[in-house]
Structure 1
Amino acid sequence: MALCPKSVLITGANRGIGLEFVKQFLKLDVPPKFIFACCRQPDSAEDLKSIASGSSVVHIVKLDVQDQSTIDTAKTYVESKLEGQGLNLLINNAAVLHLKGFYDVTKQEMMDHFETNAVGPLIVSQTFISLLKQAAGVNPTAPMSCSRAAIINMSTGVASISENSSGGIYPYRASKAALNMLTSNMAIDLKGDGILVTAVHPGWVKTNMGGPNALIDTETSLKGIMSVFAKLQGEEGTGKFYHGVKGELIGW
């Protein structure tokens, strides 16, 4: 099934995986009519501004997942552009990573990770839920999909409890494991509204966060993820944890 959402919102879109999402959506056979590329500091997002300058589709929006006022302002702006058609796809991508272990992690680092990596995506999803419901209602008999109405939470393989064999990375692992639980919960609670909710691991990607020793580049990661997005449909596509590059399920 072709991936063809009319509107997409991406948090953390100024660099890395978020920026590559913008590029890949523009390359679709039928690109979205609206790509809302969100970041904390739009004025300094030079790569994103360069893309937006050449495309009327891309709208750069200020949004800090730790700042409710920016989330509310972003929602008002997005709603004003959508012409009553709602938001088809919300990608919760913004995240923070500190490589701290048992002996050196602090309470504040744990709290910062939970606020950005778990609470942030929940609050963004809550704020935009009316627009996702609106989109789902445009085609009420269609199966759930990323083209109809969906929330994708960008997770990580190191959040898997069942596959953890190396320990460490306490704040990132724990906060992303919490995001996985939120994904499972939201999938159950929003299924009746026709909204698909799934978690995706992008692989170990060469970004500022992933570092230079990572295994793949952003383009390779995103091509895999976009392929997974296209396949997500109905009951089988929601409430899961996918490896975006391999296309297979990861154990919670």
Structure 2
Amino acid sequence: MKSILITGCNRGLGLGLVKHLAGMSRPLDNIFATCRDASKATELRALADKSSNIHIIEIDLAYTDSYKKIVDTINDQVRGNGLNVLFNNAGISSKFTRLGLVKKQQMTDAFIVNTVAPIMLTKALLPLLKTAAKKAEDTAELSVRKAAVINMTSVLGSIAENNDGGFYPYRCSKAALNAATKSMSIDLRADGILVACLHPGWVRTDLGGNNAPMDVDSSVSHILDTLNSLTEKHTGCFLQYDGKILPW
């Protein structure tokens, strides 16, 4: 894997992924990291100041018409080599709500960020992903070393595992992202692009809350190990951070 784009890197799992990748003994050529407001992404900017391979892209992913900025930034850096991995990490969640309290705007906002944005960004970056897959023709089997789209989902998006109800905006938008992941895996297989959705565990982040049992570093370490182990048999799968297959 020579290049990766990770969305939502100002804090939490996105920032954790950038930190771990920046600290690898064999660093990637390019790590592209998006955030909505670079002036508030203090830790991310500090990492970029130390590592010339980290490129910050300031963008609000809700505005899908602005994705050309991302495409152009990546094109300028990879110089014809394409993009190996798109990691759709950015996501939002409203607080737990029962049916009587859920609001239309909560539903709309969640679908725009958690479902629509990953689909439209994948569409925008498809030429770069296809280029990376072609450049890795010596790697016949699907993998992150060739080309991959990883969608950060949640076990809360599992219909089979829903035993508590509530969380309408988050559950529904993540279940829809899971469905999109399956379709992408079918549509992009012939192009040599692996597609999977990944549950990071219940992690102590702004989204996961302080009661979560897992810290960011533990989750990210498992996630990166799992990414590197993905093969053709994993495309179209709903995976946990440690590689366990989850029920839809």
Q: What is the TM-score when the length of structure 1 is the normalising length?
A: 0.95
2:129 is matched by which residue type in structure 1? L
Q: Is the contact made by 2:48 and 2:56 (CA closer than 8 Å) also made in structure 1?
A: yes
- Is 1:59 paired with 2:44? no
User: Which residue does 1:44 correspond to in 2?
Assistant: 40
Tell whether 2:8 aligns with 1:22.
Answer: no
Q: CA deviation at 1:148?
A: 1.0
Instruction: Name the count of aligned residue pairs.
Output: 246
For 1:180-219, list aligned pairs within 5 A.
Answer: 180-219=178-217
Mapping for residues 79-158 of structure 1, pairs under 5 Å: 79-99=75-95, 100-142=97-139, 143-158=141-156
Partner in structure 2 of residue 226 of structure 1 = 224
C-alpha contact 2:181 2:196 (8 A) present in aligned 1: yes
Q: Residue 64 of structure 2 contacts residue 117 of structure 2 at CA under 8 Å; is this kept in 1?
A: no
Distance 1:131 1:188 in 2: 18
CA distance in 1 between counterparts of 2:23 and 2:240 reads: 22
Distance, in Å, in 2 between the alignment partners of 1:70 and 1:15 is 22
Amino acid at match of 1:251: P
For 1:131, give the aligned amino acid.
L
Shift of 1:28: 2.6
Does the 8 Å contact 1:85/1:134 carry over to 2? yes
SS at match of 2:67: helix
2-structure distance, mates of 1:247, 1:189: 23
Q: Deviations over 1:27-64 (max 9, x none)?
A: 33322110001111112211100111111011101122
- Letter paired with 2:227: F
Distance 2:43 2:20 in 1: 14
Q: For residue 151 of structure 2, give the secondary structure of its aligned residue in structure 1.
A: strand
Residues 140 and 194, structure 1, Cα contact 8 Å, conserved in 2: no
Gaps of 5+ in 1: none
Q: Amino acid of the residue matched to residue 50 of structure 1?
A: A
Gaps of 5+ in 2: none
1:150-169 residue CA offsets vs partner (Å, 9 max, x unmatched): 00000001110011111111
- SS of match in other structure, 2:34: strand
Paired residue secondary structure (1:153):
strand
Which residue does the alignment assign to 1:72? 68
Query: For residue 87 of structure 2, what is the amino acid of its counterpart?
Result: I
Shift of residue 71 of structure 1? 1.5
- Offset from partner CA, 1:130-159 (integer Å, 9 cap, x none): 000000000224211111100000000111
164, 171, 174: which one aligns with 1:173: 171
Q: Is the 8 A contact 2:150 2:197 kept in 1?
A: yes
Q: Over the residues paired in the alignment, what is the CA RMSD in angstroms?
A: 1.0
The partner residue of 1:11 within 7, 12, 17 is 7
Amino acid in structure 1 at the alignment position of 2:47: I
% identical equivalent positions: 41
Q: What SS does the corresponding residue of 1:73 show, helix, strand or coil?
A: helix
Give the distance between the partners of 1:20 and 1:147, measured in 2 at CA. 20
| Matched residue type, 1:119 | V
